[in-house]
Structure formats: C-alpha cells, structure tokens
Amino acid sequence: MAKDISKMSIDELKAQIKRLSDMGESEAAEKYQDELNKKQSKSSSVSTSGGVSQDDWDAAGSKYAKEGLHKAEFYAGEWKNTNVSVLLKFVISDDNDEDNGKEGELWPGIGPSAIFRFKEICKALGIEPVFKSGALDVVAMFPKFAGKVGMVHYAPKKTNKGNIIITPLTVYKVGAELPEEAPF
C-alpha cells in the first residue's frame, strides 16, 4: 500500500518527484511537488502569483480616482484642524464613472490668506456663507455640505518628498468642464 502523501517527509517527496519525473510521469510528479511546496510554505499559487487570485485580479484598482472631473456627493463638513482648516469628505457618485464609490477629501484652509479655496468650494456647491457678529461662522456651515453635489477636480500634485500623486484640488459646479490649457 502506498504511503499517504501528506505524511511523507520533504526528502521522501523530493525522491518521489525525481523518480516520477525520470519515468516521464510529470502529471503524477506535480501532485507531489504541490505537497512539497506546501510543506516548505510555498504553495504553488503563492510562489507563482504572490497570492493573487482571479477575484483579486478582477477587483484590483487604485483607491484613488483618476485625473479629471468626478461628480461627487459631500458629507457634512467638520474640522481638520480647529480654526485652521475644514475637512470636506465626499464620495464619487456617478454610475458612468469607473471611479464611482471611491471616497476622497479636501482640506481648505479658513485663514485670511487661504479662505479663497473654501469660498470657491462653497460657491460651486451653492452654499451661502454664515456670518455671526461680523465673522465667518464656519461651524454653522458644516451641516450645509451634507448631500451637496459638485464636480471634484483631481489633478497631479507634487508631494513634499517629490513624488507626483493625483489628488482632489477643488470643486466646480455640476456639469462644469475643465478649461482648455493655454497653447503656449
């Protein structure tokens, strides 16, 4: 009676693989090779593919949206850094966009030299500013972002480490298109 393959030692498996290969029985040798790979913690699928299955392959894609304009729905705003910058989270919401369902965020500043971006985003989403005692009441504006839809502009940006990444920069009104680049 033949020995149970799962109880064979690594040396026994190697010997059996060699014996079967020498006899031209490559198919039979393959099952012993698979068992040897398992024992050596190198299953055949892992050693040949890095552990990527067909499902992994089919589902693979960047968690970041591609460059361009993407229709997105916003959540209520919140502080990124209290009294410095706002956190505006959104989800790409266009069934015809391959990036549909991807989430992102913008962090516009609210100081005098940075408020332009927050203002630009508010205008694109149709959010009116709220002033209290002559000062912008950012907290009162947070809930106004919930459910608003706009076109988020993703574009290349250089990081502090010198890498180029595609990141959300600003928001345009729904239906907007990016301006043509200057021909010079």
Q: What percent of the chain has pLDDT over 90?
A: 58
Give 141-153 pLDDT, tens digit per residue.
Answer: 999 999 999 999 9
Identify whether 56 is part of a domain. Answer: no
Check pLDDT > 80 for residue 1.
no
Identify whether 179 is part of a domain. Answer: no
Average pLDDT over residues 50-65: 80
Identify whether 117 is part of a domain. Answer: yes
Same-domain check for residues 161 and 76: yes
Distance CA(169)–CA(163), nearest Å, equals 16
pLDDT band, residue 183 (cuts 50/70/90): low
Task: Give the per-residue pLDDT at 184.
Answer: 52
Question: Containing domain of residue 44, as a range?
Answer: 8-50
Identify whether 184 is part of a domain. Answer: no
Same-domain check for residues 76 and 134: yes
Task: Give the per-residue pLDDT at 46.
Answer: 47
Same-domain check for residues 116 and 42: no
Same-domain check for residues 12 and 80: no
Same-domain check for residues 43 and 75: no
Same-domain check for residues 150 and 81: yes
Same-domain check for residues 38 and 94: no
Identify whether 44 is part of a domain. Answer: yes
Same-domain check for residues 112 and 44: no
Check pLDDT > 70 for residue 138.
yes
Same-domain check for residues 17 and 98: no
Contacts of 87 (CB under 8 A, 6+ apart): 77, 78, 79, 80, 105, 106, 107
Task: Give the per-residue pLDDT at 43.
Answer: 44
Give 2-57 pLDDT, tens digit per residue.
Answer: 678 888 888 888 888 888 888 888 788 888 888 888 877 654 444 566 777 888 88
Mean pLDDT of the chain: 88
Domain count, the chain: 2
Higher pLDDT, 59 or 86: 86
Q: Token match 């916003």: residue?
A: 74
